[in-house]
């Protein structure tokens, strides 16, 4: 087996997903390292890929390129995959950093951490930014002092919970079982820092906990967690005492604690008995804990990496994909699945190679958990959504509101033009000046000061527009239903275009006749299932030829940004796709509410899903009418309420009024002087 360094693996993983030369700066930014590091690795990379009959070349002005036959690239991918278990990734390094911080009392110098982990202090500083979020999830604070180091602040019970989750990111059930059979080499690298202590504690804890499980049907994963929890207690109880918190526990749990106390070779304080009580509750829960989110997130990153290699697509660059998969795996259940074999056949037919890649990667990354094919089918939808053809950029009109002075507004406007070339019209106004403007003339509003309630989409932003603000604005752009914006019309000559008018009226009638309100059964759980059921219904209506392609397009909209309309029970799904034959507007009432991300980035319950769909090559008239529907939804409070609760008759009346306004604008005369000259 070929040996690769961790850095070589990262660079080669990245280059294998690219067909064109890649700038050194781009590689460095993607891998969160320096350009100098990439330059230093260039010569060694060439030597590494040579046995695979591949060439690593540097093209001046264009960057690095991995060249060679696709078959040889596939061999390199397989070799990299096989080396994955032996060599730590960046995530493994960050897990070890978090683990070492939790083992320390008080402040620890970053230089000492860097020396212990054989990495540069600058890398430690970068990794601390990454792991800070993990500590926050467990109500812990990562406190840093310049020149002194870093320290974890928080309760011991939360530190122990994080420790157990960190171990789970590095250790699967099969390796744990082999370790208990005497294969000490199965102990993860993370625990080899204090190898002898962990071996003794885990074996002792397992021997104590096993008799309690004989009367119960407990999963291997819960048994492993119980053993690890006892081991963590044995190692930490003397150095890091627990603080007791008054709580009530079922008699059955208290009985188990008494039994464990009798079998343990050391006495337990009341606070330590509480730690065991908290952990034994897991035996009565058949669900993922909040602590599992860290485990799932790190494994999803590896899953995306593996699928990228197997499929040959740069899925790793897509942040929305990671978020979507984590949310899906954390919330998805196998119960009440509707016709799973039918779902699998649909996904396999649309994405055969991708399905195989996801299945193979899942077996590799989640080797201690079993996922059925219908689980994986919905994972494939998330990957397939990334492959959906992106919608063309449409010019946007934005209003910038700033009361801090001309300089601030100019600064923000210049930053906007730099970051968003699709912004066609950027205008500024003071807070008091917006009352004199027609806000409906703008697609959205950005403000450096809090605004009164306005109907247009808006965001409060920093005038310097840092990176995170750019991401928020990008999400807002994606959430806007501008995929239905009609092309700019030419100035009218005063001549009534009867053909255009006829097409407009015909399209309006078709949209009105096709409009429907349908109910989605409470047995359909999860957004992916709901979108697939909706799309299958639209296949029956001859709106689209591919339920999978349409549902992945709609899912992509959701993953990129929130689609829930704030303050309502509505979500607006919209998209254009080449699988769509004809446009339409449809409403789906959910018997069971679903939690979705809103346009304001807050989670909200949704009970009605509005779907706007159009062909990729749609007529200007269709886009104009669909755009008018999206505007009508939030035109006023009464109309929004009717979209939330109205029946089909009430909503057809709204559509009729909305279409009438569009047609009347078409008929508006343009004053032109009459020419009587001969």
Helix (H) or strand (E) holding 483: none
Using CA atoms, how far apart are residues 210 and 219, in angstroms rounded to an integer? 12
The reported pLDDT for the residue numbered 200 is 92
Q: Is the pLDDT of residue 448 over 50?
A: yes
Domain match, 627 and 499 both? yes
- pLDDT band for position 484 (50/70/90)? low
The reported pLDDT for the residue numbered 130 is 80
- pLDDT band for position 34 (50/70/90)? confident
Q: Which residue has the higher pLDDT, 340 or 130?
A: 130
The reported pLDDT for the residue numbered 392 is 53
Q: Let me know if residue 556 belongs to a domain.
A: yes
CB 2 within 8 A of CB 79: yes
Q: Is the pLDDT of residue 94 over 80?
A: yes
The reported pLDDT for the residue numbered 134 is 87
The model's pLDDT over 555-564, given as tens digits with 9 standing for 90+, comes to: 887 877 678 8
The model's pLDDT over 308-356, given as tens digits with 9 standing for 90+, comes to: 877 777 787 777 788 888 878 776 544 444 456 667 777 878 888 888 8
Domain match, 77 and 200 both? no
Q: Which residue has the higher pLDDT, 610 or 455?
A: 610
Domain match, 337 and 442 both? no
DSSP code per residue over 1-13: -----HHHHHHHH
Lowest mean pLDDT among 29-38, 121-130, 151-160: 29-38
What is the sign of the dihedral through the CA atoms of 405, 410, 411 and 415? Answer: positive
Of 29, 48, 82, which one is at a domain's C-terminal end?
A: 82
Q: Let me know if residue 618 belongs to a domain.
A: yes
Q: Which long-range contacts (CB under 8 A, 24 or more apart) does 186-190 make?
A: 189/88, 189/92, 189/96, 190/92, 190/95, 190/96, 190/99, 190/166
Using CA atoms, how far apart are residues 450 and 452, in angstroms rounded to an integer? 7
Q: Is the pLDDT of residue 599 over 80?
A: no
The reported pLDDT for the residue numbered 198 is 93
Using CA atoms, how far apart are residues 610 and 593, in angstroms rounded to an integer? 14
Region 648-669: what's the mean pLDDT?
86
Q: Let me know if residue 383 belongs to a domain.
A: yes
The reported pLDDT for the residue numbered 427 is 85
CATH assignment at residue 467: 3.40.50.2300
- pLDDT band for position 653 (50/70/90)? very high
Q: Express as a percent the part of the chain with pLDDT over 90.
A: 13
CATH assignment at residue 542: 3.40.930.10
CATH assignment at residue 68: 1.10.10.10
- pLDDT band for position 231 (50/70/90)? very high
Q: Which residue has the higher pLDDT, 583 or 672?
A: 583
- pLDDT band for position 616 (50/70/90)? confident
Q: Let me know if residue 548 belongs to a domain.
A: yes
Domain match, 438 and 469 both? yes
Torsion of CA 598, 601, 605, 608, to 10 degrees: 10
Q: Let me know if residue 160 belongs to a domain.
A: yes
Domain match, 503 and 634 both? yes
Domain match, 132 and 186 both? no
Domain match, 612 and 560 both? yes
Of 154, 173, 204, which one is at a domain's C-terminal end?
A: 154
Using CA atoms, how far apart are residues 8 and 89, in angstroms rounded to an integer? 11
- Structural domain count of the chain: 6
Q: Let me know if residue 677 belongs to a domain.
A: no
Strands 516-520 and 458-460: unpaired
Paired with 516 in beta bridges are 586
The reported pLDDT for the residue numbered 412 is 76
Q: Is the pLDDT of residue 86 over 70?
A: no
Q: Let me know if residue 1 belongs to a domain.
A: no
The DSSP output letter for 564 is B
Domain match, 655 and 540 both? yes
The domain in which residue 73 lies consists of 6-82
Return phi, psi of residue 459, to 5°: -135, 145
Which residue intervals of 463-603 are DSSP H helices? 467-479, 498-514, 527-540, 547-560
The reported pLDDT for the residue numbered 2 is 65
Q: Let me know if residue 246 belongs to a domain.
A: yes
Domain match, 168 and 282 both? yes
The reported pLDDT for the residue numbered 11 is 85
Q: Is the pLDDT of residue 677 over 60?
A: no
Strands 149-153 and 141-145: antiparallel
Q: Which of 558, 566, 502, 568 is nearest to 527 (CA)?
A: 558
- Work out the number of other CB atoms within 10 angstroms of the CB of residue 101: 21
The reported pLDDT for the residue numbered 651 is 93
Helix (H) or strand (E) holding 402: none
pTM of this structure:
0.62
Q: Which residue has the higher pLDDT, 64 or 331?
A: 64
- pLDDT band for position 436 (50/70/90)? confident
Paired with 574 in beta bridges are 612
Of 451, 479, 507, which one is at a domain's C-terminal end?
A: 479
Lowest mean pLDDT among 46-55, 84-93, 574-583: 84-93
Domain match, 474 and 530 both? no
The model's pLDDT over 500-556, given as tens digits with 9 standing for 90+, comes to: 888 889 999 999 999 999 998 877 778 888 999 999 999 999 999 988 888 888 888
The reported pLDDT for the residue numbered 637 is 81
Domain match, 561 and 571 both? yes
Q: Is the pLDDT of residue 652 over 90?
A: yes
Helix (H) or strand (E) holding 253: helix 251-263
Q: Is the pLDDT of residue 365 over 50?
A: yes
CA-angle at 405, arms to 401 and 411, nearest 5°:
70
User: How far lies 40's CA from each of 8, 14, 17, 25, 121, in Å?
Assistant: 11, 17, 21, 13, 18
The reported pLDDT for the residue numbered 202 is 92
The model's pLDDT over 144-182, given as tens digits with 9 standing for 90+, comes to: 888 788 999 999 999 998 999 899 888 877 788 888 888
Q: Is the pLDDT of residue 671 over 50?
A: no
Q: Is the pLDDT of residue 215 over 60?
A: no
Question: What residues have CB less than 8 Å from 309, skipping those under 6 apart?
Answer: 13, 16, 17, 77, 80, 81
Q: Which of 538, 560, 559, 535 is nearest to 548 (CA)?
A: 535
The reported pLDDT for the residue numbered 288 is 43
In terms of C-beta density within 10 A (0-12 exposed, 13-18 middle, 19 or more buried), how is residue 158 classed? middle
Domain match, 250 and 173 both? yes
């Amino acid at each position: 087996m070929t040996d690769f360094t961790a850095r070589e693996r990262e660079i080669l993983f990245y280059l294998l997903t690219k067909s064109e030369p890649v700038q050194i700066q781009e590689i460095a930014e993607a891998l969160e390292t320096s350009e100098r590091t990439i330059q230093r690795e260039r010569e060694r990379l060439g030597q590494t890929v040579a046995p695979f009959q591949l060439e690593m070349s540097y093209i001046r002005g264009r960057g690095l390129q991995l060249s060679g036959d696709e078959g040889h690239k596939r061999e390199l991918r397989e070799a990299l995959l096989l080396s994955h278990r032996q060599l730590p990734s960046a995530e493994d390094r960050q897990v070890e950093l978090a683990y070492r911080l939790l083992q320390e009392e008080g402040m620890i110098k970053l230089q000492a951490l860097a020396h212990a982990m054989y990495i540069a202090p600058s890398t430690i500083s970068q990794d601390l930014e990454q792991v800070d979020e993990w500590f926050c999830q467990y109500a812990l604070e990562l406190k840093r002092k310049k020149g002194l180091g870093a320290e974890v602040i928080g309760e011991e019970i939360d530190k122990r919970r994080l420790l157990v989750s960190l171990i789970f990111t590095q250790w699967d059930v099969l390796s744990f079982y082999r370790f208990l059979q005497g294969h000490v080499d199965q102990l993860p690298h993370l625990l080899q820092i204090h190898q002898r202590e962990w071996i003794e504690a885990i074996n002792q804890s397992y021997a104590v906990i096993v008799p309690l499980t004989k009367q119960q049907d407990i999963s291997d994963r819960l048994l492993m967690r119980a053993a690890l929890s006892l081991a963590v207690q044995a190692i930490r109880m003397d150095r890091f005492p627990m603080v007791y918190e008054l709580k009530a526990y079922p008699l059955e749990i208290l009985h188990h604690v008494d039994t464990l106390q009798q079998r343990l070779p050391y006495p337990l304080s009341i606070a330590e008995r509480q730690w065991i009580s908290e952990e034994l509750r897991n035996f009565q829960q058949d669900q993922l804990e909040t602590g599992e989110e860290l485990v799932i997130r790190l494994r999803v990153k590896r899953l995306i990496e593996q699928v990228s290699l197997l499929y040959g697509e740069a899925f790793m660059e897509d942040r929305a994909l990671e978020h979507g998969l984590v949310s899906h795996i954390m919330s998805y259940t196998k119960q009440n699945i509707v016709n799973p074999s039918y779902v699998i056949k649909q996904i396999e037919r649309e994405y055969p190679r991708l399905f195989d890649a996801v299945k193979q990667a899942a077996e590799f990354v989640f080797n201690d958990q079993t996922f059925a094919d219908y689980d994986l089918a919905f994972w494939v939808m998330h990957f397939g959504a990334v492959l959906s053809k992106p919608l063309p950029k449409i010019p946007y009109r934005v209003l910038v509101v700033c009361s801090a002075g001309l300089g601030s507004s100019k600064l923000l406007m210049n930053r906007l033009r730099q970051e968003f070339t699709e912004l066609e019209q950027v205008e500024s106004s003071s807070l008091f000046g917006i009352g004199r403007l027609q806000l409906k003339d703008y697609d959205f509003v950005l403000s450096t000061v809090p605004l009164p309630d306005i109907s247009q989409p808006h965001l409060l932003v920093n005038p310097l527009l840092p990176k995170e603000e750019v991401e928020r604005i990008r999400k807002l752009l994606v959430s806007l239903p501008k995929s239905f914006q009609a092309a700019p019309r030419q100035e009218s000559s005063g001549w009534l275009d009867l053909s255009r008018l006829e097409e407009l009226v015909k399209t309006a009638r078709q949209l009105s006749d096709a409009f429907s309100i349908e109910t989605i059964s409470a047995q359909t759980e999860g957004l992916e299932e709901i979108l697939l059921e909706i799309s299958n219904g639209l296949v029956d209506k001859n709106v689209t030829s591919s339920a999978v392609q349409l549902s992945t397009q709609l899912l992509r909209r959701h993953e990129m940004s929130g689609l829930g309309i704030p303050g309502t029970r509505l979500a607006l799904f919209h998209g254009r796709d080449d699988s769509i034959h004809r446009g339409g507007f449809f409403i789906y009432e959910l018997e069971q509410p679903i939690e979705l991300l809103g346009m304001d980035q807050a989670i909200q319950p949704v009970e009605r899903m509005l779907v706007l769909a159009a062909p990729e090559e749609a007529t200007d008239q269709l886009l104009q009418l669909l755009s008018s529907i999206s505007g009508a939804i939030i035109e006023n409070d009464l109309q929004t309420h009717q979209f939330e609760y109205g029946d089909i008759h009430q909503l057809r009346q709204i559509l009729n009024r909305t279409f009438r306004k569009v047609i009347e604008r078409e008929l508006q005369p343009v004053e032109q002087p009459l020419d009587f000259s001969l």
